Structure 1
Amino acid sequence: MLEVSNLKEEGEFRFIEEGEGKVMLLLHGLFGALSNWESVVDKFSKDYKIIIPMLPIYELPVREAGLGKLIEYLEGFIAYKGLDNFDLMGNSLGGHMALMYVLKHPDKVDRLILTGSSGLFENAMGSSFPKRGNYDFIKQKVEYTFYDPKTATKEYVDEIFNTMQSMPMCLRIVGIAKSAQRNNLAHELHKIKNDTLLIWGLNDTITPPRVGHEFNRLLTNSTLRFIDKCCHAPMMERPDAYNDILEDFLNQRKSA
């Protein structure tokens, strides 16, 4: 099980590193936690080196909270680790960051995997999300991201609720969410030639299925797969189906 105690700390960077082999770099979303990727790590760390950087979403200066600073951090981390020809996977905001990184550094990344990615359209959570002190409101918002509300465990809701008790944290969340809305990539996606897998929840309420179809249309070498009875975080809600689709893609599209 992925725990904070598994975090490595080197300089300004905190990250999980599991397994050996080709690097698969995973990027979490705006309210991401290590547990989001647990099933992927369990399944693929025997064949890949899985690296999950903890993005400094809650540490950025409030005035600088946005995708620009997060991309700078990601670039610094990848350079520090000396990564090259790696597979890059992102959920939600993490998918948006993956796309922005590939647009800047197309030769560094081999394959791209996106699930519920922002970058074209998303129902804004950040602008209305931070109601401090209202547990039921936050619980409702978290459950909205899952087809089955029970997927949002009390521990997961508590973690987000506790984060939202700080006004600076709320301001960072809003700043990053608005930055994501401003950074629409529709006119740039044609530049990305990497083999890309799009795994989408058929019941996604944040980035609806039509967004997956639009990514598939705009990304030259992309494959779109839907998972039924699944919302915005397929790797959490339908981990077996997610991993089967991912494994099939990785096995079919071995890097040269």
Structure 2
Amino acid sequence: MSDNLAGKVVVITGASSGIGEAAARYLAAGSARVVLGARRVERLRAIVAEITAAGGEATMLATDVTHLTEMQALVNHAVERFGRVDVLINNAGLMAVGSILKGRTDEWERMIDINIKGVLNGIAAVLPVFHAQQSGHVINVGSVASHKVAPGGAVYSGTKFAVKAITEGLRQESGAIRCTLISPGAIDTELPSGTSDEATLKRLKEAYQAALPAETIARAMAYAIAQPAEVDVNKIIVRPTVQPF
């Protein structure tokens, strides 16, 4: 990994498992200082303890991204502990896929709250710090569903299309702030278990047989972060070679 990672302060949401956990471990191994946010406190503590025992620098704070005040607290915690924030990784997400005809409005609302409002809360929380520093990097985790709608994925894709639009809009307006949309395909995480529809769960299990390890996305994040300040990697799609969509 590039020395450009060393000392970078990286705030990560959804850091208790999957891509968020993998990013925390991988970036900390590259000498970044990581700040983990998620709702599962005991899991966060265990990850921080393991990173620290391995010689890395890490801290955590219980965080529900659907609440702006909690995202602000996470960013403030990073500044208090490490003096700055260099990167925000908006990773927390929910994939409650299933036919829109079934009208599972509770799942729709949760996806909107986490996938869209959570990203916006993260951006709102970190922008004052980035403006004061005159630098920063927002990495938003989208999906291949940010680019194509599949049957059963209308609402999920809608939230991820929104993330793509938000990322591009921020890029155009943000000046010195770098903006990256990373769109994973099938990755081995808890994400496919987010739906309550049994038939959909079965299809996802089959589709995810070729899923890539979560560290695959962590490496893509590290690549974007490690670029020189004048280089802004805007979009990365990462999926298994055999994945057709």
| TM-score, scaled relative to structure 1 | 0.43
More helix by share: 2
| TM-score, scaled relative to structure 2 | 0.45
